[in-house]
Amino acid sequence: MARITGGITTSHVPAVGAAIDLGKTGEDYWQPLFAGYEFSKKWMAEEKPDVVILVYNDHASAFSLELIPTFAIGCAESFQPADEGWGPRPVPTVQGHSELAWHIAQSTILDEFDMTIVNKMDVDHGLTVPLSLVFGEPEQWPCRIIPLAVNVVQYPPPTGNRCYNLGKAIRRAVESFGEDLNVQIWGTGGMSHQLQGPRAGLINQAFDKAFLDQLVKDPEAQARVPHIDYVREAGSEGIELVMWLIMRGALDLDVEEVYRFYHVPASNTAVGHLILKNRT
């Protein structure tokens, strides 16, 4: 049986990808941020997942205002890094896990979640920056990765509660897959940031820290928080945080917090990072 053994959350700032690709991680501005992921790199090398289900959002790279799936699962054999205007990032091709992805699509759709099946999709900084932060700069990514894209760009995004329940459905799907696989689920994006309008540059450390606490300790309460609270308190792009609830729903109610990191600022964003594990 496949099993979800742990969950990670991390922010996905594009400038972090550029700092890695341009060899700037040792600069004064970036060094404290990358230092915060050293523990995670070692932890991942010990955990050695076979597959990561990587919940992220596309930023008008694979999708656009012409086509806006709420939840979209990548079932292809592989996914290329997207060209976001400066050429594709020089990172490895993402190798998917078609069999497990199709199984999750079938299981969640029959479980009444309307999942869009995607057989061709380039993946942008929303997916590649978390991989770089946690795995560094390998020749090949060390595991298979199933991209699961969530619309948090065009209103209306899914509710936190819908995301939390999707996490539970993904867990049921993984646990009904016959092959013995060590599976992790990652929830990415956030934390507080606003990139546009009069409030551009907004960061709310008090909100972010309370979110981290509540996500770990009382995810059911966090799942009831409405969109407007995220947008008011964490900025228009702070709504990316609902994706973290998909990761959280796939784990037990009571979890072990293995690691926490919080850093301000990275570009316009507050960076948050958690590693969670089921206790048994």
Residues designated catalytic? 125, 193
Contact assessment for residue 70 and residue 115, using Cβ atoms and an 8 Å cutoff: no
> Is residue 268 near ligand DHB by the rule CB under 6 A?
yes
Question: Which stretch in 9-17, 91-99, 165-173, 220-228 sits in contact with ligand DHB by CB under 6 A?
Answer: 9-17
> Is residue 269 near ligand DHB by the rule CB under 6 A?
yes
> Is residue 263 near ligand DHB by the rule CB under 6 A?
no
According to CB under 6 A, which residues from 182 to 211 bind ligand DHB? 193, 195
Contact assessment for residue 266 and residue 193, using Cβ atoms and an 8 Å cutoff: no
Nearer to ligand DHB, 6 or 189 (CB): 189
Q: Identify the residue among 13, 127, 181, 242 touching ligand DHB (CB under 6 A).
A: 13
Contact assessment for residue 160 and residue 218, using Cβ atoms and an 8 Å cutoff: no
Rounded Cα–Cα distance for residues 79 and 52 (Å) = 14
Number of residues that bind ligand DHB (CB under 6 A): 11
Least distance in angstroms from the C-beta of 189 to ligand DHB: 6
> Is residue 152 near ligand DHB by the rule CB under 6 A?
no
Nearer to ligand DHB, 124 or 215 (CB): 124
Contact assessment for residue 80 and residue 122, using Cβ atoms and an 8 Å cutoff: yes
Least distance in angstroms from the C-beta of 35 to ligand DHB: 19
Question: Which stretch in 73-81, 99-107, 221-229, 266-274 sits in contact with ligand DHB by CB under 6 A?
Answer: 266-274
Contacts 24+ apart (CB under 8 A), 192-198: 192/233, 192/234, 192/235, 192/238, 192/269, 192/270, 193/234, 193/235, 193/237, 193/238, 193/268, 193/269, 193/270, 194/235, 194/236, 194/237, 194/238, 194/268, 195/236, 195/237, 195/268, 196/236, 197/236
Its sign, for the CA torsion 255, 258, 264, 268, is negative
> Is residue 144 near ligand DHB by the rule CB under 6 A?
no
> Is residue 59 near ligand DHB by the rule CB under 6 A?
yes
- Binding residues (CB under 6 A) for ligand DHB: these are 12-15, 59, 193, 195, 237, 267-269
